Amino acid sequence: MDDVDRIFDAISNFSCAMLRLDAIRQKEQELFEAQKKECGSCFHWMKSSCVPEKERWQFKSMSSHVCKDFHRTGRSIELIKQREEELQVLKKDFEERYNN
């Protein structure tokens, strides 16, 4: 019975490690998405200060490519910092558990 218990323990540990790695990958993707330079993350988007809209009547969607006047919103900066902190916590937890 000891061999069977060890096999189930190993499978359980492997499964937990994979779930944690998946959470890390998901958080890395969220960070990547938050760091994208898109019009929706710009301070000027949907405002009269948006140069392409004001000067050239080019209405930009949230995911449009940014212009030279791109300036990240405070919320966007906060979101990037939050994702970076969450990712560091997940990686630290993983290293503590599985890199002994």
The predicted-structure confidence for 36-79, as pLDDT tens digits, reads as follows 888 888 888 777 777 776 676 777 777 787 887 888 888 899 99
Q: CA 35, CA 92: separation in Å to the nearest integer?
A: 22
What pLDDT is recorded for position 53?
Answer: 67
- Given phi > 0 = left and psi -120 to 50 = alpha, else beta, which region is 58? beta
Q: What is the pLDDT of residues 20-48, one digit of tens each?
A: 999 999 999 999 999 988 888 888 877 77
